[in-house]
A and B are shown apart, each in its own frame.
Chain A
Amino acid sequence: MQNFAITVKDLVHRYPSGAGEALVVDDLTIREGEIVLVTGKSGSGKSTLVNCINGVIPHLFPGDSEIDQATHQGEVFVHGHPVSKTPLHVLSTIVGTLLQDPETQILNYDVEEEIAFGPENLCLLPDEINRRVNEAVRVTGIGHLLGKETYKLSGGELQRVMAAAVLAMTPRVFIFDEPTSNIDPAGTVALLDLMRTLRGKTVVIVEHKVERVLPFVDRVILMDNGRIVSDVPSASVIERADEFASYGVEVPEHYMYAKKIGLASADVGQVVSEMKKRKMIVAAVSRRTPAETVLRAQLKVFDGNSSLLDVRIALGKGEILAVMGRNGAGKSTMLKAIMGVLDRKLRGEVRLNAFGIELGNAGVAERGRYITYVPQNFDLTLVSRTVKEEVAYSPKKRGLKDWRTKVDNLLEMLSLTDQAEQDPLALSFGQRRRVALGSALASDVRVALLDEPTSGQDFSHREALGEELTHLAKMGYSFIVVTHDARFVYRHCDRVAVLSEGRLALDGTPEIVFENSEKYGVPPPTEYSLYRELSRS
């Protein structure tokens, strides 16, 4: 048992509120120094598994004082320590955990305080605390962030600070639970590069962005319905590409082609070369070209005297326009400026025309007659008791006469008829997102602004969202979608605008924009790279 960093034996976990087993793992071992990717659809048991390894289950959930045999059976050993019998603070010096949302993990005001939080809890002497802080800062390369306030950092910077905070506990096992969900591609690369520096430590990473993570890992565990359904070396993912895809996991497109042509390599260049030899072609994604423009905006936003945003943007009827760029590029500010919900301390100069009507001086409610907005945290928009009331909110407030028919149609279109009488906040993630979208669109608004709707979602949810938007676009709805997901953009959007430091850097079809987008922090997806290489052959 001592040869393994992690050993799981006959583990069964049920949540007190759940009907069945959330996790069943008969036998799992992870060697010291191994880097393992755990993937699968949302709700497949990935986070439950890692929470059983770091001791959050059973010590924090469902309870610490007495482990309930009805909900938790079996044992996990981490470097020989039985997790259920080892106090959490002891485990925290063996297993470090980095979670998805950096905002909710950060507890302190400045960077040094955050990194020192763990060692201070261990009652170490000030000299030792400082030594650990300095070492963690050195390893994670965040010296430039020292002295900064945590609330002013970007998502990517926050995650690296949290990685340093975890590192300061000197754990031998690292758990990264969807650490890149809320950060931009540059932040993702920086965080994954950090994994290289942890070589020698055991790393378990839960991640939806399989394409980005695969080059860094030794082994891949696929989970579904609380069970491990596949456990293979990362090099074997090509052979199992179909199986992974069938479980709703994002498999890079070139893996699928590699499998098709019997190539064992995951290198894009080799796959392209082999495909060229075989004269294989990759079909272009069809893009809609709108016949008329429904929205024109010239937006200037200032924080004091400094200009945060200065862009001119147009949106066509039935068009899906993606807005991409680094964190802090001005994407969300752009949506808020269009909608008239800018932060109070910012000053906006907005010229806005929707459907031929000047809205630059109009208030939020007036703009809302023509344009709607779904924020990133769409749960905050769900204020009604039932799904039907939520979707009916806007048409009722605006006094639309035939709102009942419209609501029923929308519920059906978004596959929410069966949930019409349920509490929207009690639904699944995908259903809640559809309720928020339905509620936004219900009062005949034809332009929707969506702020990071793909963030934190698994591949199947992102695909479902893309299909919903495409369906609605065909019916004449237009969308501006802020996202970091280049693959989503390539597969579902008609046009991309890339912002850089508050200015419009690139604007065009994904095929045109992805040619030069990398220098603005938007690396193209390999799907596009395949298309580009093979369309030139």
Chain B
Amino acid sequence: MILYSLFENVLSWLFVLLGYATPLGIIFGLIGLTGFVEITRFEKGDSFYYKLNPVTKIVIGLVVTTMSAISIWWVGAALTAVLALSYLTLKNGVRKLALATLLTVSTVVATVQNFAPYTAAQTLVQAMKTKTLHGIWTWPAYFSFMGFQHSLTLEAVIYSLQISVRFTSITLAALILVLTTSPSGVLRALQKLGVPLPVTFALVVALRTVPRVFDSIEASMNSQFVRGLGSRDPSFLRPLHYARALISSVIPVLVFMLRGAKNTAISADTRAFRAYPRRTHRKPLAYSRLDIVTLSLLVSALALAVYAAAHGYGRAIPYVS
């Protein structure tokens, strides 16, 4: 009995730790902070996406989000696959597809980790249209969180996987905008969509700052490993040390970025930023035939998804009649 209890506790903790360590391991071990910079920074290119008006790319993101949200899970999965494959058309497409795939896998694992043990049985019964739930593991009582019995069923895993592909399609669509549009292109597009200038500027500065944030985090984490973090522990604990180094880097990186933000504010405001509610542009945004064709396809796909959902075909929440 004692042996079983020990076994149960060890495995329970192992499952939890693996759930957190796997996405972290993918992010830091395989993608790396440099990979994150590569997949969040615009590079010039000349393929399909680069030729689209930024407004069209924002519409792609909105349509993908709506379709993933209102449609059955496999629509999200199909969109994820199509969007991921379309990364091959980007500059350094193979590398970007590899990074996007790793990011997708880590998102799926993290979503399952955070949804599956906490999904109520009643939800699963309705969502999966079953009366029988197949138990995989039940954690000891002290794992219960906000009234949820911390347990895992096969149906919960499947349901969480279905939810995760909605997130992945949205993430991939959003990254396409970031990877194929210069920050000023994003600024112009958002302005055209009526988003207030201070909001768009904050987004543009964020886009510009993301690579610096990753560089800074990497420098801070490296400094901790250089000074011996984890040097006396076995290598299988490395993901935990990465997580610890990452958490410790937050404050110094934040302080460092805030010091830089002051300069950014001065640089913008001493060049008349926010002088007027709108700005003019050296090269006004123009719509090409490609945009019109793309927008037409997007509107058609969206209309089809809305029509199908309204008539009970392939709804995101099938148990709601």
Chain A residues in the interface with B (C-beta under 8 A)? 51, 54-56, 59-60, 87-89, 91-93, 95-97, 99-101, 103-110, 112-113, 116-126, 129-130, 133, 149, 151, 162, 165-166, 169, 339, 341, 343-345, 364-369, 372-375, 377, 379-383, 393-394, 397-399, 425, 439-440, 443
Contacts and interface: CB of A to CB of B under 8 A. Distances in A.
* Interface size range on B against A: 35 or more
A101 B260 CA distance: 8
A149 B259 CA distance: 24
Q: Which 4 A-B pairs have the closest CB atoms?
A: A89-B275, A397-B228, A118-B271, A394-B227
Given A105-B264, A126-B281, A96 B231 contact: no
Contact of A380 (B219, B276, B280): B219
11 contacts: A89-B272, A97-B266, A105-B267, A113-B182, A113-B184, A117-B184, A166-B270, A169-B272, A344-B35, A345-B38, A398-B231
A508 to B, nearest CB: 29
A129 B281 CA distance: 8
B248 interface: yes
Interface in B199-242: 204-205, 208, 211-212, 216, 219-220, 222-232
A54 B270 contact: yes
Contacts of B192: none
A425 B251 contact: yes
Given A104-B260, A108-B184, A93 B272 contact: yes
B1 interface: no
B229 A397 contact: yes
A99 B280 contact: no
A439 B227 CA distance: 8
Nearest to B185: A109
A107 B205 contact: yes
A365 B182 contact: no
Contacts of A101: 260, 263
Interface of B: 32-35, 38, 41-44, 182-184, 204-205, 208, 211-212, 216, 219-220, 222-232, 248-249, 251-253, 255-256, 259-261, 263-276, 278-284
B230 A365 contact: yes
B220 to A, nearest CB: 4
Given A380-B219, A397-B229, A166 B280 contact: no
Nearest to A129: B282
Contacts of A339: 222, 226
Contacts of B38: 345
Given A165-B271, A372-B226, A124 B280 contact: yes
B216 A368 contact: no
A117 B271 contact: yes
B282 A112 contact: yes
Given A169-B272, A383-B220, A443 B227 contact: yes
Contact of A394 (B182, B228, B267): B228
A377 B219 contact: yes
Given A93-B272, A125-B280, A398-B228, A380 B216 contact: yes
Given A89-B275, A344-B34, A110 B248 contact: no
Given A103-B260, A368-B225, A368-B226, A56 B252 contact: no
A121 B256 contact: no
Contacts of A112: 282
Given A116-B282, A380-B220, A440 B227 contact: yes
Contacts of B249: 380, 383
A58 to B, nearest CB: 13
A398 B231 CA distance: 7
B62 to A, nearest CB: 23
Contacts of A166: 270-271
Contacts of A99: 263, 266-267
Contacts of B204: 107
A375 B268 CA distance: 28
Given A118-B271, A364-B225, A60 B265 contact: yes
Contact of A126 (B33, B264, B283): B283
Nearest to B283: A126
A31 B270 CA distance: 22
Contacts of A56: 266, 269-270
A57 to B, nearest CB: 10
Nearest to A341: B222
Contact of B248 (A108, A149, A383): A383
B97 to A, nearest CB: 16
B232 A89 contact: no
Nearest to B222: A341
A436 to B, nearest CB: 8
Contacts of B267: 97, 99, 104-107, 162
Given A375-B219, A440-B226, 20 more contacts: A56-B270, A88-B270, A89-B276, A92-B272, A97-B270, A107-B205, A107-B268, A109-B184, A117-B268, A118-B271, A124-B280, A129-B281, A162-B267, A379-B256, A380-B249, A380-B256, A381-B224, A383-B252, A398-B228, A425-B255
B158 to A, nearest CB: 35
A440 B227 CA distance: 7
Contacts of B43: 149
A372 B264 contact: no
Contacts of A122: 272, 275-276
A369 B228 CA distance: 7
A373 B226 contact: yes
Contact of A123 (B32, B44, B223, B275): B275
Nearest to B207: A109
Nearest to A399: B232
A377 B219 CA distance: 9
B271 A379 contact: no
B223 A380 contact: yes
A162 B271 CA distance: 11
B132 to A, nearest CB: 47
Given A99-B267, A368-B225, A368-B231, A149 B44 contact: yes
- Looking at A51, A113, A124, which has the most chain B CB atoms within 10 Å of its CB? A113
Between B232, B266, B272, B275, the greatest number of chain A beta carbons within 10 A of the residue's beta carbon is seen for B272
Which of B251, B267, B271 has most A Cβ within 10 Å? B271
Nearest to B33: A344
Contacts of B255: 379, 425
A261 to B, nearest CB: 43
B225 A92 contact: no
Tell me which of B183, B204, B223, B274 has the highest count of chain A C-beta atoms within 10 A of its own C-beta: B223
A118 B272 contact: yes
B276 A123 contact: yes
A377 B259 CA distance: 12
A104 B184 contact: no
B270 A120 contact: no
A60 to B, nearest CB: 6
B271 A377 contact: no
Contacts of B220: 380-381, 383
